Chains A and B, each alone.
Chain A
Amino acid sequence: MLALLYKDWSIIKKTRALYFSLFYFFIIIPAMQNGSFLPRNYSTDFFFIFVVYLLFSYLAAYDYKYNGHVFIPAFPVTKKKIVEARYIFASITFLSCLVILQIIKAAILLIGKQQLTLHGMINYEQTGVLFLIFGLFFGVILPVYYKLGYQKTRWFMFIAMIIAIVIPSIITSAGSSLDSPIFLLLSVLAVLLFFSVSIKISVKFVNSVNM
């Protein structure tokens, strides 16, 4: 499993996706926090998920270009582990981005000489929505990717990402305030449940599809 994650990291750190991520976190986010750049909420969600999507998309594209999907199963690893590693890598990427986002928020609060409180840093509603978007997107897209392959999935992935961002955002904006730890906890549990089903479907597809 660690070998697969190291492989993904070795690819990602050589791609332009990483530069885009740095640009997002260190230019776009601080600019948005000042209120002088893009409007908040939808844009923040969009760019955040876009970064995670971009990192995954680069991995999938490089696997396709260099036949990684063919030679990786030849190494001493099962197809189930290969699938699980992809979900874990997406989750690590998402959580890393979330941590970086919180660090940047904390830095902005400190620079503005504001008080550093847990509630000031973590917006439960926004974080919960991000979890739901992430779970919805990867929970659906990964089985489709393993069934149809990268070439047939790439445009679908982009459309699915936009849908995944819009739906939870609309639901939360229409309803009452969800800014509570319970909402965040339920979102995380929903993602775990969604992923456990999604992984089983992906493994089934990987075993049946001739790569």
Chain B
Amino acid sequence: MYNVLEVTGLVKNYNNFRLEGITFNIQRGYIMGYIGPNGAGKTTTINLILGILNPDGGQIRLFGEDVETSPASLKERVGFVIGETAFYEFLSAKEMAGIIARFYKRWDWKAFDRYMKIFELDKNQKIESYSKGMKIKYMLACALSHNAELLLLDEPTSGLDPVFRSELMDIFQEIISDGEKSILFSTHITSDLDNIADYVTFINNGSIVFSDDKDSVLSRFSIVKGGRDQRENVMRTDKIVGILNSEVGFSALTNDREWFLRNPEKGVVLEKASLEDIMVHYVRGNKNAGLAV
């Protein structure tokens, strides 16, 4: 098992926001979904890994080496899709690629042309004339054209229509199919990860809630639903991490599905939790009920 990225105890104080104790790993050949609501700290984490921001504490290791020791050579092996703009958009795709190519020793023009063709992008067109989806594809083509082994994607599907998002998911899956590349995919649209993520790291309010393989997460968490009469009993179990109340009852998130299976209660049903359920119940349900995990 080889970790391409190891983040340990990362700390950053940034614009009245504190990122604290961020710890997770990504293994070679896998996709890690990095989920959390807007403002949770996903972009800050990625910016710290890329060296755009300097951490106040903790350690980042890329391909087994501390990034502090040789940041430039380690970043040769990392591709990224970040930000609101796709580089200097007033340039043509080819001109911008000409700039990027000079930063990477392993830049491969044949690969660039191939990806531009696959993504159906005209390299002579100005980047600013591309649609948002095309810009994402363009940045991805650039990231893949220098043989990046780790791709850091910050909200690449935000603002894209479902068809385009589905197409991108297929592309991501194809990218990791050789077993050599890995992806850290930050998103608040958790449904994007349902089919492609192998691991999931959930960040909320600057802290990691969990980081585990997706199947374990989905089997551990469950939604507990019931009427208003059952609410107090369920809350007393101490197995609830978030609860949403409605006129007719409640919907709660438990991280101990097994306990509820062993101790069934009349009028209370157990449902499978999606990543979205987990995120929504944890973030909103926690605020509503004042619970702590």
Contact = CB atoms under 8 A, between A and B. Distances in A.
Interface in A1-47: 2-3, 6-7, 10-11, 14
Nearest to B76: A76
B73 A76 contact: yes
A70 B71 CA distance: 16
Contacts of B95: 10
Interface in A47-79: 62, 66-68, 70-71, 73-79
Given A66-B85, A71-B82, A74-B51, A10 B76 contact: no
Contacts of A11: 88, 91
A2 B102 CA distance: 8
Nearest to B12: A210
**What class of interface size applies to chain B in its complex with A?**
20 to 34
A138 to B, nearest CB: 23
A76 B104 contact: yes
Nearest to B105: A76
Contact of A74 (B82, B88, B102): B82
B84 interface: yes
Contacts, number: 74
Given A76-B73, A211-B53, A70 B99 contact: no
Contacts of B76: 76
Contacts of A211: 52-53
A167 to B, nearest CB: 35
A151 interface: no
A73 B87 CA distance: 12
Contacts of A66: 85, 87-90
Contact of A71 (B15, B71, B87): B87
Interface string B49-67: 0111110000000000000
Given A71-B83, A75-B75, A10 B53 contact: no
A68 B87 CA distance: 7
B100 interface: yes
Contact of B91 (A2, A10, A73): A10
Top 10 closest A-B pairs, CB basis?
Answer: A3-B102, A76-B75, A74-B50, A75-B103, A76-B72, A3-B103, A76-B76, A7-B99, A66-B88, A73-B52
Interface of B: 14-15, 47, 50-54, 71-76, 80, 82-85, 87-91, 95, 98-100, 102-104
Given A67-B83, A74-B51, 14 more contacts: A6-B98, A6-B99, A7-B99, A10-B88, A11-B91, A14-B91, A62-B88, A66-B85, A67-B85, A68-B88, A75-B103, A210-B14, A210-B15, A210-B53
